[in-house]
Amino acid sequence: MRLLLLFLLAAAALSLNAAGKVQSVAADLGSVKIIRLKTLTAQMKYNENEISVRPGEKVKIVFENGDDLPHNLVFCQPGTDTMTMAMKQMEKPEEALKRQWLPDDKRIWLHSKMLNPHEKEELIFTAPEKPGDYPYVCTFPGHALTMNGKLKVIPMGQGLKDLKFALFLGNWKMLPDFSKLKPHREGVVPNHLIDIKLDDYKNEFGVVFTGKIHAPRKGSYRFYIAGDDGVRLLIDGKKVVEYDGIHPAGTIKEEAVQLTEGDHELRYEYFQAGGQIAVFAAWKGANFDITPLSSWRPAGWEKGAKAKKKAEYAPIPIVVAAEPVIYRNFIQGAGNRAIGVGYPGGINIAWSAESMNLALLWKGAFMDASLHWNSRGGGYQSPMGYDVLKPTGEVTPAFFIAEKPDAVWPVWDKTKRYEGFVWKGYTLDAKRSPTFRYTWQGVEIEESFSASGDGNKPGGHPTLVRRIQIKGDLPANSWCRFGVGAFERKDGRFLAKGALPYSIVAEGALIAGQNLVIPAKLGTLTITYQWAQ
Amino acid sequence: MKHFSLCLAFGLPLMAADPVESDFYKITTFETPKETAMEVGAIDLLPDGRLIMGTRRGEIWTVSGAGSSDPSAVSYKLFASGLHEVLGIAYNPKDKNIYATTRYEITRLQDVDGDGRADVFDNVSDAWGVSGDYHEYAIGSRFDKAGDLWVTLCLTGSFSSVTPFRGWALRIKPDGTMVPTCSGIRSPGGLGFDAEGEVYYADNQGPWHGSCTLQHLVPGSFQGHPGGNEWYALAPNMGGRPIDPSPENYQGDNKRREARQGGDPGRMVKERQRIKQLLPPAVYLVHGKIGNSASAIICDTSAGKFGPFMNQLFIADQSHSNLSRVFLETVNGIKQGVVFPFRLGFASGLIGGRMDGEGRIFTGGSDRGWGARGGKPYCFEKCEWTGKTPFEVHEMRAKPDGFELTFTQPIDPKTAGDLKSYSMREFTYAYREAYGGDEIDEILPTIIAAEVGAEGQSVRLKISPLTKGHIHELHFEGVRNRAGHPLLHTVGYYTLNEIPAK
């Protein structure tokens, strides 16, 4: 039965092109996927919180407990609330201890023993047939909150059809407009995988691949490319992602695009200057995993462009205890002059001293400094917590002058500073919470924040109150914009609609087009942000 | 046994071991707080004898008891944290506040409630750009003789500058005004003053730099790397933008990593004549031999408490975990001089350093990102004179026909006057866009004469030819002092930008 299912699934993953030839992008049916899962020393975490396998795939997990505490690895059915499951056994701790803290729960379909420090165990199994997210967790008392992850069972997608190529000769530093050039020769690519197989040219040429790709349903699809040298991918004539210029092929770029159900035209443009030749393309959909569309794949391609940002270092969490903690560094989403502040109670903000505005607010853990405090320390680090809100555009100021407050907001131009804004610094109050100081149009403005509730647990009602004190007379038609996007006014609050719902309360505020604004004048504006429960 | 006592009786020296650096300068490594990594970026002195120290992790600590002869007497208190990388720190005696140079801002910190922790963080100046590239370090100085702060800004990467004033030295006036001061900076590692208050910075080997260098920051000068020159458009006070170095000095194609065909025609000595603002490096800190990554510049202002090298400069190195010693002079209006090895053996890469009034050099740093010979990931140390004077070349001055050396102790006239005690080679580096470069254009001159001075503590070497623009590497292995001891260090590298007329 299983073999039949496997065959059917494999058949579903194949597709036929017009010539009746079969192209396969399914996993080799005989091989075993080996995954190494470890516990991180002195942190209550596994080294991976997400692993992917194919439906019905043969898997071997090598589980190693490198920590100084006992840990196990327990796999549950999709939708299992693993924390509650792990906590429930505390009702009868003596029995749980006899079972080595393995919950007596039918939703568990695979588990390791409780491993002592430095013990290892191999779990060999066949992945479930049904795609989904199967949570895994450590059920030792108190560990489940952070020691968890998900096993994504997800098939591969389909490949390209009707793949053709056109070869062009030329010496370029950037991708040329191939539509204006005459190809040197053209042909088909029989195995429908993007690849450069030229016996006669090694340098100074370009290739354009065209083919069809089938989107199984309407939705968002992510395309990944890499190349040596420049590459660009277009769907239905529109550019989706590109990485132009002369460079080696290690970096993967990705972008998402909305597609309707059905066939779409894919066009992959490439040029070679000199030296190495490499082309890579892949795509991913909501219901299938990253699937290569080329023969060659760079190292780490399975994780897409995020492969490079994957943490190589042990985390260095900036811990927030009794008083707020400040972290100024490159915070993802908060520009180049970011000031992170972690408040006690798991509520955090990132302020931009470039736009003089609140850039981000989030719940839970504050920041992980390991990216910045290891090696050369470059790059942007995302907040360590979760439910990150970006009420306004990236690195854009709150204050503006306009007759109509529904003016479209500027997009951050990295080559310019914002005129009229002067950054003055910050002052810590008795509780060591910062008040940010700046001037706009010569008027002094101070902003302070206070956090209440608990962002570290569900139901904690985390709330951030922002007070903007304007200490002088502003020009006429001054506004403070503190929200962008779709807001709905309801019961005296403004509800932000979208994947991460939250609400804002601000007296005197109004919706103006895509903006949430208050008329700005001498006095104090108070804005309260709350995450949806 | 009998032989031993006879020797003592006659007062003859025993076959003592050759002198080693630790006989004369002692390094003490301090324990630092376990809750952090004390990656020292900059150090300054507080009037009560404490130190104020900034780190790469954006912390500022006050340090007490570091001068004590008992290293365990040191204690630390956290003054501030969360800053974006502190590579410059200065105590301002006028307002009694601490000024920290961070990546894109000079911040004034005040402890208003007197609890030992900073409460007020004022932006003194944020007038230069920041792009997010990791390479854009900002090295800050102490207050100079005019009451200004200097900051030298690394380029974006090694070749170019994508945001205003990266690749420049700026001065910040007491009122916060920013004055563009010098262009042509590549990758500064340290910034400091000589005994007269002239300002210098250390640049790193890379494009347009065959080696690390010590460079004199003269307002209005172009220090060599053209990568940031587009910002002359924002600096009308600097006058016209310098012409670029000759096209053949550039790499084959700026975007490719091709070496230019046909060799390296560019030389600093030639381009100086074409590019009028171009100031040659005062001293080449010869690559691989003195260090690989020059950093802190520390002047001995202790009037003798650090040994015989008053007013000379000590240059730290982040890669070699060492200190080197520089003697400078001015010839035809240009600063130039000699670098000698001084002390190896620090525990990590050195980044920040400062000498206190008692002649103690406090220094520290980290090896993070580029590695260091010291072996430890970070360190905080001090270097003190043991009281014993080493036998070293004290000063080396250029003369129209050679060099004059003075020594720290009376020399043995026989060895010091013997031509065979010395050897010299001259070389230079290409002034070109390609990264770094070999020692080239080697010349082996003849040492014609070695005249010992009447006071018995100097030698005048007559050498031919002398080559303007070359580094003159002098070995003096054969020289002995009156007690028959060899020199502690037997090489010096003199950068001969100008040959004096007399």
pLDDT of residue B2: 44
Question: pLDDT class for A444, splitting at 50, 70, 90?
Answer: very high
Query: A262-283 pLDDT, tens per residue?
Result: 999 999 999 999 888 999 999 9
Q: What is the mean pLDDT of residues A42-57?
A: 88
Q: What is the mean pLDDT of residues B26-51?
A: 97
Cβ–Cβ gap B102/A353 under 8 Å: no
ipTM of the complex: 0.93
Instruction: Please classify residue A106 by burial: count the beta carbons closer than 10 Å to its beta carbon, then call 0-12 exposed, 13-18 middle and 19+ buried.
Output: exposed
User: Which B positions 240-279 lie with beta carbon below 8 A of chain A?
Assistant: 255-256
Q: What percent of chain B has pLDDT over 70?
A: 94
Instruction: Please classify residue A86 by burial: count the beta carbons closer than 10 Å to its beta carbon, then call 0-12 exposed, 13-18 middle and 19+ buried.
Output: buried
- Contact of A379 with chain B, judged by CB distance below 8 Å, is answered with yes
Does the pLDDT of residue B119 top 90, yes or no? yes
Selection from A174, A176, A157, A156 nearest residue A166 by Cα = A176
CATH number (domain holding residue B104): 2.120.10.30
The amino acid sitting at B135 is H
Number of structural domains found in chain B: 1
- Contact of A375 with chain B, judged by CB distance below 8 Å, is answered with yes
How far, in Å, CA of A298 to CA of A278, rounded?
9
In a domain, B494, yes or no: no
pLDDT of residue A8: 54
Does the pLDDT of residue A401 top 50, yes or no? yes
Whole domain around residue B365: which residue ranges? 19-235+277-388
Question: pLDDT class for B252, splitting at 50, 70, 90?
Answer: low
Angle at CA B123, nearest 5°, toward B118 and B126? Answer: 140
pLDDT of residue A106: 94
CB A50 within 8 A of CB A149: yes
- Contact of A317 with chain B, judged by CB distance below 8 Å, is answered with no
Query: B60-104 pLDDT, tens per residue?
Result: 999 999 999 999 999 999 999 999 999 999 999 999 999 999 999
In a domain, B297, yes or no: yes
pLDDT of residue B254: 47
How far, in Å, CA of B91 to CA of B52, rounded?
8
Q: What is the mean pLDDT of residues B360-376?
A: 91
Neighbours of A286 (CB within 10 A): 11
Does the pLDDT of residue B465 top 90, yes or no? yes
Determine the distance from the C-alpha atom of residue A379 to the mean position of all C-alpha atoms in its chain, rounded to a whole number: 15
Does the pLDDT of residue A341 top 80, yes or no? yes
In a domain, B27, yes or no: yes
How far, in Å, CA of B493 to CA of A311, rounded?
45
pLDDT of residue A66: 84
The rounded mean pLDDT for chain A is: 89
Question: pLDDT class for A88, splitting at 50, 70, 90?
Answer: confident
CB B55 within 8 A of CB B63: no
In a domain, B94, yes or no: yes
Task: Give the N- to C-terminal CA distance of chain B in Å, as an integer.
Answer: 57
- Contact of B34 with chain A, judged by CB distance below 8 Å, is answered with no
- Among all residues of chain A, which has the CA nearest to that of B122? A425
Which residues from chain A sit within 8 angstroms of residue B84, using beta carbons?
A: 328-329
In a domain, B356, yes or no: yes
Q: What is the mean pLDDT of residues A474-495?
A: 92
pLDDT of residue B247: 84
In a domain, B460, yes or no: no
Instruction: Note the maximum CA span of chain B.
Output: 81
**Per-residue CA distances from A64 to A123, A138, A464 (Å):** 11, 13, 41
Examine residue B93 and say whether the peptide bond preceding it is cis (omega within 30 degrees of 0). no
Which residues from chain B sit within 8 angstroms of residue A353, using beta carbons?
A: 105, 123, 126
Task: Give the one of A326, A337, A423 whose C-beta lies nearest to B82's C-beta.
Answer: A326
Cβ–Cβ gap A425/B369 under 8 Å: no
pLDDT of residue B33: 97
In a domain, B474, yes or no: no
Q: What is the mean pLDDT of residues B412-429?
A: 97
Query: B280-330 pLDDT, tens per residue?
Result: 999 999 999 999 999 999 999 999 999 999 999 999 999 999 999 999 999
pLDDT of residue A130: 94
- Contact of A421 with chain B, judged by CB distance below 8 Å, is answered with no
How far, in Å, CA of B281 to CA of B295, rounded?
15
Question: pLDDT class for B189, splitting at 50, 70, 90?
Answer: very high
Neighbours of A308 (CB within 10 A): 13
Question: pLDDT class for A23, splitting at 50, 70, 90?
Answer: very low
Query: A351-378 pLDDT, tens per residue?
Result: 999 999 999 999 999 999 999 999 888 8
To the nearest whole Å, the CA of B233 is away from the closest chain A CA by 14
The rounded mean pLDDT for chain B is: 93
Q: Which two tokens stand for residue B156?
A: 């974006």
pLDDT of residue B380: 98
Question: pLDDT class for B257, splitting at 50, 70, 90?
Answer: low
Cβ–Cβ gap B132/A330 under 8 Å: yes
Positions of E strands within B361-422: 361-366, 378-385, 393-399, 402-407
Q: What percent of chain B has pLDDT over 90?
A: 87
In a domain, B122, yes or no: yes
Write down how long chain B is: 502
Which one of A373, A381, A431, A446 would you mutate to disrupt binding with B, by most B Cβ within 10 Å of its Cβ? A373
